[in-house]
Amino acid sequence: MTADNGGLPQGGDSRAGSELLEVSEPARSGGRPVAALAAGLGALRPLPAGAVRWGTGFWGRRARVNASRSLAAGLARLETSGVLENLRLAAGAADGAYHGKLPFLDTDVYKWLEAVSWQLQQPDAGGWSAEESAEWSARAEEIIALVAAAAAPDGYIDSYTTVVREGERWADMAMGHELYCAGHLIQAGVAHRRATGRTSLFDLARGFADLLVAEFGEGGRRVGYCGHPEVETALVELSRETGNRAYLELAQRFVDLRGGGLLGDRPFGRHYFQDVTPVRESFELHGHAVRALYLAAGVADLYLETGEQALFEALEAQWHDLLRGKAYITGGTGARHRDEAFGDAFELPSDGAYTETCAAIALMQWAWRMLLATGQSQYADVFERVLYNGFLAGVSLDGERYFYVNPLQVRPDSTLGPDGRQEWFSCACCPPNVMRTLASLTHYLATSDAEGIQLHQYADGSVRVEGDGGHGPMGVEVATAYPFDEAVRLTVPAECAGHWTLSLRIPPWARGAARLELDGAVLELDDSDGYARVRRHWRGGEGLVLTLPVRPRLSVADPRVDAVRGCAAVERGPLVYCLEQFDQQVSVDEVRLLGPVYDADPVRIGEFEVPGVALAAESLAVLEKGAVPDGWGYRELGEGSPGAGAGVLLAAVPYFAWANRGYGAMRVWLPLA
Amino acid sequence: MTADNGGLPQGGDSRAGSELLEVSEPARSGGRPVAALAAGLGALRPLPAGAVRWGTGFWGRRARVNASRSLAAGLARLETSGVLENLRLAAGAADGAYHGKLPFLDTDVYKWLEAVSWQLQQPDAGGWSAEESAEWSARAEEIIALVAAAAAPDGYIDSYTTVVREGERWADMAMGHELYCAGHLIQAGVAHRRATGRTSLFDLARGFADLLVAEFGEGGRRVGYCGHPEVETALVELSRETGNRAYLELAQRFVDLRGGGLLGDRPFGRHYFQDVTPVRESFELHGHAVRALYLAAGVADLYLETGEQALFEALEAQWHDLLRGKAYITGGTGARHRDEAFGDAFELPSDGAYTETCAAIALMQWAWRMLLATGQSQYADVFERVLYNGFLAGVSLDGERYFYVNPLQVRPDSTLGPDGRQEWFSCACCPPNVMRTLASLTHYLATSDAEGIQLHQYADGSVRVEGDGGHGPMGVEVATAYPFDEAVRLTVPAECAGHWTLSLRIPPWARGAARLELDGAVLELDDSDGYARVRRHWRGGEGLVLTLPVRPRLSVADPRVDAVRGCAAVERGPLVYCLEQFDQQVSVDEVRLLGPVYDADPVRIGEFEVPGVALAAESLAVLEKGAVPDGWGYRELGEGSPGAGAGVLLAAVPYFAWANRGYGAMRVWLPLA
């Protein structure tokens, strides 16, 4: 095992058979040179695991909530929901009916195992002691043993097919989710091996993957692809992990075949499965959002390994399509409840927004790979937007309740939307997906290239690369209350002396207004490509202060977004804000913004304090109780226009923090007077 | 058979065993004193069949298209879709698999039979010769024989249960639709007997109804109600037809039990079935729109027979809820695709509008019954709005293609919405529902009371009541190009001389601006209750001219309807207009209305000519090709606002006529500059 083979496709399977590290040695585990995600042909390289560490700031706290509360609650739910029992049924170790009706419930287990694995990789980030790590590792091994018991002799694993379909495999490629389940198993197996060095889960994953190659590979017994893309990213990563190109080629084959209509015409149509046009001719995003975005991430992974330009051009066109009119201001995607699908361009209703939490995660995965491929700030910009808004709103501040659907507006007593945060779901894809994302979030903050290191996201903690591309150690300590506060204080440790470039992403709202000081002297800052780059010979010990103008601002949408015409949304730094009825004196549906927005007192929500924002507004007299005209809700233009009402000050809170003090009416977009 | 028993609850089953009229005698058939729908305790009485006759105007033409084209095309589809074959399967007269997956496909047959029956009641309205009527009658009897063959010995009829469920009855009250199917059979049977005097279908319907009484009546074998309300109206009408209160009491029992949660919790929740609160405590409209509105119609029928105030109060509250924020300007209802449900109040997206054609029909049925109950113009106002817009848009001008979903906006290349008019559907509830409504539309135009007659809708033709409540004959000849033109010319025939009151509804947009002349002299007109009432002793031969200000106007929505904030819609008389991309030089999504609207040249669409409307607007320069900024679709307020663009004149056509010249982008609501 060498320092630079991990995660690189040419590395070979050098770790197979290497000695196991005890998980009770967190320091060594955290320091292992395992890349979280793609490397390959990209402009930027992911950093080794352990290179980014949390401090006590925003993300450090969230990570500890995830490690200390979400994983344990999740384990309890895996048991009570019956998904572990389903594995026992498949193993012949239990009797009874299959729990749940969905064919992909095994992935709840796999995603949870992946989350525990990433947390075991850096137990200190979750606040785990060595004893706790050993306990979590042992719990994971117990569940891995269940997965192993459910495996068929030839490596096939899928409790639903085994129990409900009586072993009839690949009978429903459109909705059977067998390859989707395999993908999550593979990702969990890779994470578990990278984190612990153990191969208990990895061997199961590889065994299944080998079976997939035999079944679906070139010259295999079957020609097909999965109705729910996901296995593509997993296979590319397995190829990186093992150096075995067969997995890469299988991912390539799935991508090459897709769009051939092999999935058939289901009620929601072929768009639902991204099966209308070949991938290289798919220049727009259509259909089920999570499927489309996992597929895009998989195609990006493939591009990172093969460099095939036609794939990248399709991805760039899809990205443009996304940004232009298929993403919410929260970074949420998937406008439609009916088929969990993207809307048409500019079809972005606030109340009807589906914006599944898993779609936010899938978009982060795609954006990250596009960032690695190109080094362009736009991908990190979107990553940040999704991270703080569309994604983070999906989990409660206490880490134990979740949204599956993330609307931007909830009306009073609504029968739409999610009806409050839930502890689990009959389709529980989101909760363990949140857990694995939070447990691996350190992997997504910074990168390196031949010049130095790039900070894409700002979090209290540190970044440290032990030597990369001929450099000695490079890194910075980061002290910041970002995203709440404007100052990011960076210190280059003495041992990171040397000639290298520190690149700092300047978010779009800060471009042209950010300020950077080096040991008290203001640096001239060129952020035209989205990064401020400090190229110098570091002595070590230098202190930098990056100041980002984190102030409330009002944003508006493209005029073709009908749903929010005449409205503005409050943003503050990377955070989108919202009005919760809880905080107001008047109905959130009966106010008009006058314009001014102000920083207000912090708001305590559970264990957290978040910056408040105040908005000058007026309530509409015509809508005040008793003043609503009865009867038909339409009138001739000019008749009975609402008069100006009383002035009111509205209190907004970050969108990610909503519905933590009860569930009620809420709005992100507010009509302008 | 006496002149006043038809449709009255106290009438008794006097028509059973009466001599049959030959359908080849259209004059006698049309003159039979059969009420189409409810009478009972209402403020107004429906007129006998044949009292209203079409002339050559708008509705006369539509009726002939329905009779000459829709019914024949429908019959062909009943065969090719397999729904007739399903009856043969149930009868044991054919082999093979059941056609279609839905449990209510028999109702396609029943609704078509009902449509043919109403048309047989007044063959001249459809332009049928005596020979054609005889042919249609014979075709109907052939199909009735199929239904008879599918009936079980005890009267039960349901091909799906018989074939697919192997006879297991009432196994799924929530989604099995057995009572729903029974309801449509009963309505068809009543219509067929009223129209033809024959009892072939009626006897089957009554046999099944008697079984329902035994199964579900007080002291019966089962306690329950149907997941899809519909049987309630049918049972009340059957009670009126037969004078047998057992059917009325069964409808009452279904209404009394509903809300008890007996349908269970299905994926869409108990709101879907209107099973959350008892009917008397249901003051809002929730869930599946067609279900909710058929239920409301059934409850109104029950009120018309029992006078129970608690039922009426619930209906009034639901009506208010509808008008305030759950109806589109087209009269369409049901905002949500996901569960075909009402939205929350003010949740009325134009693009996402589901607004099923059947929901429009159900609302017309409810509105009509509320009109009979109260005599209030608001119900006729809504009836007219739905009739000309939300309902009529559901069928093509050639009568052979249908919309199931009726959005108010279609974006370019949309993947939402209906994707064009279809000849039939796998769930084909709408097409034969349109047919039966058009075939019985004369029943809904006018009423009588002790004072005289009321014209609620204006159509070229005549209204004639042969004597009612002590009066001699009352009636008017109507000559009008309404809704296209403003003048409604009414002539009282010589034989209608006598003291009686002619009440003319003044639509809301005409109130205070309508003009009424009697033999050239302007009458003082008080339309404060929505009707101009002319109380006098008619000599006969008088000519009245009612002038309604049919001019284009701009309408806006309640400011809480987020979806159309800052927009206006064009209305002209009772017609809602829309922009079809087909007619424009610029994208319909990139214009802003400046205000002025004008009458324009007529537009020829297929065989019809409709009044055009022109709108002064500007195209948005920022949205012109090449000027769209790349990247993220949101910006800070005040940055890069769209500049004023070039002036353009937009061409609007009536909404009911859209998608008859190809299917493309369309908008009802247009942003104001």
How far away is chain A from the Cα of B602, in angstroms, using its nearest Cα?
Answer: 24
- CB count within 10 Å of CB A530 equals 20
Inform me whether the C-beta atom of residue A626 falls under 8 Å from chain B C-beta atoms: no
User: In the prediction, which pLDDT does B33 show?
Assistant: 27
- Best CA proximity match to B412, nearest among B564, B586, B587: B587
CA-based R_g, chain B, Å: 25
Task: State the angle between helix axes of B309-325 and B289-306 in degrees (0 to 180), rounded to the nearest 10.
Answer: 150
> Residue B10: what pLDDT?
28
pLDDT of residue B417: 77
- Whether residue B232 contacts residue B295, with contact meaning beta carbons closer than 8 Å, is answered with yes
pLDDT of residue B654: 98
* Nearest neighbour of B634 by CB, restricted to A556, A590, A631: A556
Nearest-CA neighbor of A619 among A583, A656, A584?
A584
* B567 bridge partner residues: B671
Position A326 pLDDT exceeds 60: yes
Would you state the pLDDT for residue B418?
82
d(CA B503, CA A558): 51
A644 in contact with B at a CB cutoff of 8 Å? no
Q: Which of A347, A263, A227, A315 shows the shortest CA–CA distance to B415? A: A347
- Whether A30 shows a pLDDT value over 60: the answer reads no
Helix or strand or coil: residue B243?
Answer: coil
Q: pLDDT at residue B13 above 50?
A: no
> Residue B248 has what pLDDT?
97
Residue B620 in contact with partner chain A when CB distance is under 8 A: yes
**A478 and A544 in contact (C-beta within 8 Å)?**
no
Mean pLDDT of A590-613: 94
Does B419 lie at the interface with A, CB-CB under 8 angstroms? no
Say if the Cβ atoms of B411 and A344 lie within 8 Å: yes
Residues of chain A contacting B349 with CB distance shorter than 8 Å: 349, 352, 563
Q: Which residues of A touch B377 (CB under 8 A)?
A: none
Whether A101 and chain B come into contact, CB under 8 Å, resolves to no
Distance CA A591, CA A648 (A): 8
Residue of chain A with shortest Cα separation from B415 = A344
For the purposes of burial, counting CB atoms within 10 Å of the CB of A2, is it exposed (0-12), middle (13-18) or buried (19 or more)?
exposed
> Which of A345, A350, A416 has the CB atom closest to B562's CB atom?
A350
- Distance CA(B324)–CA(B345), nearest Å, equals 8
* Whole-number Å distance between alpha carbons of B367 and A582: 38
Residues A10 and A387: their CA atoms lie apart, in Å, by 32
Q: Which residue of B lies nearest to A340 if distances are taken between CA atoms? A: B338
Helix A71-80 to helix A106-121 angle (10° resolution) is 160
pLDDT of residue B50: 87
Substitution target in B560, B588, B635, B667 with the highest count of A β-carbons within 10 Å is B560
Closest CA to B83 of B114, B109, B103: B109
Q: What is the DSSP string of A409-469?
A: EE-TT-SSS-SS-BS--SS-SHHHHHHHHHHTGGGGSEEE-SSEEEE-S--SEEEEES--T
Q: Mean pLDDT over residues A302-309, rounded?
A: 95
Average pLDDT rounded to a whole number, residues A86-101:
97
Identity of residue B111:
K
Q: Which residue of B has its CA nearest to A563?
A: B563
Give the per-residue pLDDT at A471.
80
**Residue of chain B nearest A426, judged by CA positions:** B267
Q: What b/e sequence results for B353-377 when a residue is b if at least 16 CB atoms lie within 10 Å of its CB, and e otherwise?
A: bbbbbbbbbbbbbbbbbbbbbbbbb
What is the C-alpha separation between B460 and B463, in angstroms, rounded?
10
The values of phi and psi at residue B330, to 5°, are: -80, -5
Region B317-345: mean pLDDT is 96
Confidence of residue B302 (pLDDT cuts 50, 70, 90): very high
The mean per-residue pLDDT over the stretch B422-441 comes to 96
Looking at the complex, report in whole angstroms how far the Cα of residue A252 sits from the nearest Cα belonging to chain B: 28
B-proximal residues of A, 242-271, CB under 8 Å: 269, 271
Enter the tokens of residue A172. 């429903």
pLDDT band at B161 (very low <50, low <70, confident <90, very high): very high
Structural domains in chain B, CATH included, are: 56-444 (1.50.10.20), 447-482+486-547 (2.60.40.1180), 552-630+639-671 (no CATH)
Render the burial of A448-474: b for 16+ CB within 10 Å, e for the rest: bbeebbbbbbbbbbbbbbbebeebebb
Element (H, E) at B125: none
- pLDDT at residue B213 above 70? yes
Q: Which of A415, A508, A557 sits opposite B344 (nearest CB)?
A: A415
Predicted local distance difference test score (pLDDT) of residue B638: 80
ipTM rounded to 2 decimals: 0.90
Based on the number of CB atoms within 10 Å of its own CB, is B19 exposed (0-12), middle (13-18) or buried (19 or more)? exposed
Burial of A101 (0-12, 13-18, 19+ CB in 10 A): exposed
Tokens of A484: 């709440």
Residue in A415, A555, A637 closest to B555 by CB: A637
Q: What is the mean pLDDT of residues A80-101?
A: 97
Mean pLDDT of chain B: 91
Interface touch B337/A337, C-beta < 8 Å: yes
Tell me, rounded to whole angstroms, the distance of Cα A548 from its chain centroid: 24
Residues with Cβ within 8 Å of residue B166, at least 6 apart in sequence: none
The predicted pLDDT at position B637 comes to 86
The C-alpha angle A214, A219, A225, rounded to 5 degrees, equals: 70
> CA-CA distance, B116 to B444, in Å (whole number)?
17
Note whether B324 contacts A411, CB cutoff 8 Å: no
Three-state secondary structure call for residue B120: helix
pLDDT value at position B28?
26
The alpha-carbon gap from B633 to the nearest alpha carbon of chain A, in Å, equals 5
Q: pLDDT tens digit string along B163-202?
A: 999 999 999 999 999 999 999 999 999 999 999 999 999 9
What one-character-per-residue DSSP string does A507-521 give? -GGGTTT-EEEETTE
Q: With 60 as the cut, is the pLDDT of residue B135 above it?
A: yes
Kindly state the DSSP code that residue A587 receives in the 8-state scheme.
-
Collapse the DSSP code of A200 into the 3-class scheme (helix H, G, I; strand E, B; otherwise coil) and give the result: helix
Interface contact flag, B636 A554, Cβ < 8 Å:
yes
Q: Where are the beta strands (DSSP E) in B191-316?
A: none
Residue B35 has pLDDT above 60, yes or no: no
How many residue contacts between A and B have a Cβ separation below 8 Å?
A: 177
Q: Which of B429, B430, B567, B578 is catalytic?
A: B429
Q: Who among A337, A352, A635 is closest to B556 (CB)?
A: A635
Task: Give pLDDT tens digits for B222-260.
Answer: 999 999 999 999 999 999 999 999 999 999 999 999 999
Least confident of A27-36, A536-545, B649-658: A27-36
Which stretches of A309-401 are assigned E, i.e. beta strand? none
Percent of chain A exceeding pLDDT 70 equals 92
DSSP letter, residue B541:
-
Residue B628 has pLDDT above 70, yes or no: no
Has residue A5 got a pLDDT over 70?
A: no
Confidence of residue A49 (pLDDT cuts 50, 70, 90): confident
Tally DSSP H helices, then E strands, for chain B.
Answer: 16, 22
Least confident of A184-188, A413-417, B26-30, B101-105: B26-30
The gap from C-alpha B216 to its chain's centroid, in whole angstroms, comes to: 29
CA distance B83 to B98: 9
| B630 in contact with A, Cβ within 8 Å | yes
Residues of A in contact with B631 (CB under 8 A): 320, 323-324, 378
Any CB–CB contact under 8 A between A562 and chain B?
yes
Name the residue with tokens 């069949």.
B49
Taken as a whole, chain B contains a residue count of: 673
Of A11, A2, A4, give the one whose Cα is nearest residue A239. A11
Name the amino acid, one letter, at A608.
Answer: F
User: In which element (H, E) is residue B281 found?
Assistant: none
The whole-model pTM stands at 0.92
- Express each pLDDT in B350-379 by its tens digit: 999 999 999 999 999 999 999 999 999 999
∠ Cα A53 A57 A61 (to 5°): 85
CA distances from B168 to A305, B176, B515 (A): 58, 11, 62
Q: CA–CA separation, B109 vs B75, rounded Å?
A: 9
Per-residue pLDDT at B3 exceeds 90: no
* Catalytic residue set of A: 340, 429
B324:A630 CB<8 A: yes
For residue A316, give the chain B residue with the closest CA.
B631
Asked if A556 and B271 come within 8 Å (Cβ–Cβ), the reply is: no
Tell if the CB–CB gap between B337 and A341 is shorter than 8 Å: no
**Distance from B555 to chain A by nearest Cα, in Å?**
4
User: Is B621 touching A (CB cutoff 8 A)?
Assistant: no
CA separation for the pair A513, B83 (Å, rounded): 69
Q: What pLDDT is attached to residue A12?
A: 32
Spatial separation of the C-alpha atoms in residues A387 and A397, rounded to whole Å: 14
| Integer Cα distance of A429 and B161 in angstroms | 36
The length of chain A is 673
Mapped onto helix, strand or coil, the DSSP state of residue A53 is strand
- Whether the per-residue pLDDT at A4 is higher than 60: the answer is no
Yes or no, beta carbons of B634 and A558 under 8 Å apart:
yes
Name every residue whose Cβ is closer than 8 Å to that of residue A572 and which is 6 or more positions away in sequence. A550, A551, A552, A553, A599, A611, A613, A654
Q: Is B429 a catalytic residue?
A: yes
Interval B424-447 mean pLDDT: 96
A286 and B CB contact within 8 Å: yes
Within an 8 Å CB–CB cutoff, is residue A336 touching chain B? yes
Span A100-147, pLDDT tens digits: 999 999 999 999 999 999 999 999 888 899 999 999 999 999 999 999
Tell how strand A452-455 and strand A498-505 pair up. Answer: parallel
On the question of pLDDT at B386 being above 70, the answer is: yes
Positive or negative: CA dihedral B85, B87, B88, B92: positive
Cis-peptide into B483, omega within 30 deg: yes
In chain A, the N- to C-terminal Cα span, in Å, equals 64
Q: Does A673 touch chain B (CB under 8 A)?
A: no
Query: pLDDT grade, residue B23 (50/70/90)?
Result: very low
CA Rg value for chain A = 25
- Tens of pLDDT, residue by residue over B562-618, are 999 999 999 999 999 999 999 999 999 999 999 899 999 999 998 899 999 999 999
B576 touches chain A (CB under 8 A): no
**What six digits make up the tokens of B266?**
């299905």
Q: Which of B321, B336, B344 to mutate to test the interface with A (most CBs of A within 10 A)?
A: B344
pLDDT at A620: 81
| Model pLDDT, residue B622 | 55
Q: Which residues contact A562 (CB under 8 A, 6 or more apart)?
A: A346, A347, B350, B351, B409, B563, B564, B669
Q: Which chain A residues are Cβ-neighbours of B553 within 8 angstroms?
A: 636-637
Strand partners, B603: B610
User: Average pLDDT in the A338-364 region?
Assistant: 96
The closest alpha carbon to B369, from B356, B382, B358, belongs to B382
Cβ atoms within 10 Å, residue B598: 12
Work out the number of other CB atoms within 10 angstroms of the CB of residue B561.
22
The active-site residue out of B178, B215, B340, B356 is: B340
Q: Which residues pair with A237 in a beta bridge?
A: none
- Whether A6 shows a pLDDT value over 60: the answer reads no
Cα–Cα distance for residue pair B437/B434, rounded to 1 Å:
5
Q: Does A323 touch chain B (CB under 8 A)?
A: yes
DSSP code, position B98? P
